Structure 1
Amino acid sequence: MTTRTDQTTLGIVLMLGFCILAPVMDAFAKATPEIVPVPQILAFRFAIQVVILLPLAAAMGLALRVTWRDAALHLARAGTVLVATGFFFTALRYMPIADAISIFFVEPFILTLLGALFLSEPVGWRRLTACAVGFGGALLVIRPSFADLGAVSLLPLATAALFAVYMLMTRSMSQRLSPLVLQGHTALAACVLVIPPLIWLDGSGATLFDPVWPEGRARWTLLGVGVVATISHLFLTFALRLAPAGTIAPLQYLEIVGATLIGYLAFGDFPTPLTWVGIAIIVAAGLYVFERERRLEARAKAPAPPP
């Protein structure tokens, strides 16, 4: 019989698997030849996710029909994650993977602020201070990249902002839909949005949307992006179902370690000392926010004292 402790342990293992695999997906995207436009990489990433997830959901007996309202929400989520992922993949063509992921990890701070603004979630001065400190750490990572790359170094920051919006929508929809169905339908909506422009502009010479026939290395990198993205996000989805979010969310920062190792082995990239300082500040501030939220949640669930 599976105990709650066993489930939590399995959730932690799956989260560690996600932290290892997610940078591998980024490495495949970075290794894709620049002749392949970023929207074509996105098309492969989400099309492969559809091919894997929707049949899997059907085999598990999950309902695949959606209402018109949910279809509109899937399109909104898909549009947000498409642009966010497109920004991030574009940044990876010019930036080390570890630098881009480190900047992206200001997303929990943005999510905290958006939750306060749009969902009226309480945010005290301590978490606001942690958010400010985390953004300061991101600026330390951005500064040297901005001197070399200009506005491109801000793309991971834009990714973080868009992904925070995506997470707000996910919070609402995940209460009603299975994670497999949710991810599969959002991937299908993403294909509806990104594939038609690639078909219409084929041969047009448009830099952004004129697709190329993948050959050689591109075939394997595009396949790798789709397969690894699907598996890693399945790991993340089931990890969140098996273990408390407060237990496994801090583990996501181990993704920076995986990104640094893969970036060094595959591309010879290694963070500068100033970047390491920025990463340390972002991680410390993020862990404080996670711990603060965990304590507040535990306090809210505690039984009221007797009168």
Structure 2
Amino acid sequence: MAGFSDNLRGSALMAGSMACFTINDACMKAALAEVPLFQALFLRGLATTVWMLLLARALGGLKLRLPRRDRWMILIRNVTEVGAAYFFMTAILNMPLANASAIMQALPLSVTLAGALFLGEAVGWRRLAAILVGFAGVLMIVRPGMAGFDVYSVYPLVAVALVTVRDLLSRKLSAEVPSVTVAFFNAFSVMAFFGVGSVFVDWAPLSGRSVLLVGAASVLIIGGYVFSVSAMRVGDLALVAPFRYTSLLWALILGLLVFEEWPAVPTLIGAAVIVATGIYTFYRERNLARAAPKALRVR
């Protein structure tokens, strides 16, 4: 019963995390109708940085003295975070929310493939085949060469590549770096970069609606990170991790109700392919992890 309870709690936390992230995206997409991109991301970054400082003070986890190697890795990680924020937010400004969200679902596949290529992690032919099928699903969404394809169709793919690098760097950080410190530097870097960039654009006057949207986004994105970290520490990873795909359901619902957007049939099929291959990859990794100790015992 305890294991079932942990799995249920972990699944709920992961679903909650994805709800926070996707509603954050919807808030920012709505705010960008009134506020320039650099201004909106600076204001969200500013609010998020303040919230992170308060959270770090409450948890006592903010550590600024870090080993030299970790400092460089966090710096590079922050660059990828800034780039991913720019490309993904520009994408949802110029394309349906569900389309961009569906492409981002390829992230577990890209991280698995990059781990094999750059970190020497073992990936068998079954998982490699699933990854290739999943990327075929991405092509069904992007549909290069088809009507409606433009430069913004590539932006979510760039965001996936940048977040993949960010996650690989996260794996290489030493255990002495608290998660709240990494999250704080992420928020601060976004605030600083887009704050400087916003100097060169004309600021729009803030309405009560835009203030509410950006403020809500700053709280939701922290909720997404906190729930996500908590979810990965509870229950069976193979049962909890697939709930990350509930973000696609949120994107479909919010896209329809808030922005009157509904993806084309090829996009829905491509999204289904990505989700199916992602879930297979999660279960395959769990089965291999379970088999490894048995193999060691036989030896």
**TM-score normalised by length of structure 2:** 0.90
Q: How does 1:36-75 map to 2 (within 5 A)?
A: 36-67=35-66, 69=68, 70-75=70-75
Q: Paired residue for 2:28?
A: 29
CA shift, 1:35, in A, is 5.1
Cα distance in 1 between the residues matched to 2:81 and 2:281: 24
3-state SS of 1:64 partner? coil
3-state SS of 1:41 partner? helix
Structure 2: stretches of 5+ with no match in the other structure: none
> Percent of aligned pairs with the same residue?
33
Q: 1:106-160 deviations in whole A, cap 9, x for unaligned?
A: 2222212211121011122111111111111111111289622411111111111
Decide whether aligned partners of structure 1 residues 113 and 169 sit closer, same or farther in structure 2, where only a CA change above 3 A counts: same
Cα distance in 1 between the residues matched to 2:250 and 2:145: 20
Kept in 1: contact 2:32–2:40 (CA 8 A)? no
Q: How does 1:108-257 map to 2 (within 5 A)?
A: 108-143=108-143, 147-173=147-173, 175-199=175-199, 201=200, 209-257=201-249
CA shift, 1:225, in A, is 1.8
Cα distance in 1 between the residues matched to 2:13 and 2:292: 28
Decide whether aligned partners of structure 1 residues 285 and 129 sit closer, same or farther in structure 2, where only a CA change above 3 A counts: same
CA shift, 1:186, in A, is 2.2
CA shift, 1:84, in A, is 0.7
Q: Paired residue for 1:11?
A: 10
Decide whether aligned partners of structure 1 residues 24 and 144 sit closer, same or farther in structure 2, where only a CA change above 3 A counts: farther
Decide whether aligned partners of structure 1 residues 81 and 63 sit closer, same or farther in structure 2, where only a CA change above 3 A counts: closer
Cα distance in 1 between the residues matched to 2:50 and 2:264: 40
CA shift, 1:251, in A, is 1.0
Greater CA deviation, 18-27 or 167-176?
167-176
Provide the aligned length of Structure 1 versus Structure 2.
298
Letter in 2 for 1:152: Y
**TM-score normalised by length of structure 1:** 0.88
Decide whether aligned partners of structure 1 residues 100 and 117 sit closer, same or farther in structure 2, where only a CA change above 3 A counts: same
Cα distance in 1 between the residues matched to 2:143 and 2:41: 28
Greater CA deviation, 2-11 or 96-105?
2-11
Cα distance in 1 between the residues matched to 2:285 and 2:54: 37
3-state SS of 2:161 partner? helix
Letter in 2 for 1:67: L
Q: Is 1:79 matched with 2:82?
A: no
Structure 1: stretches of 5+ with no match in the other structure: 202-208
Over the aligned positions, Cα root-mean-square deviation in angstroms equals: 2.3
CA shift, 1:275, in A, is 1.6
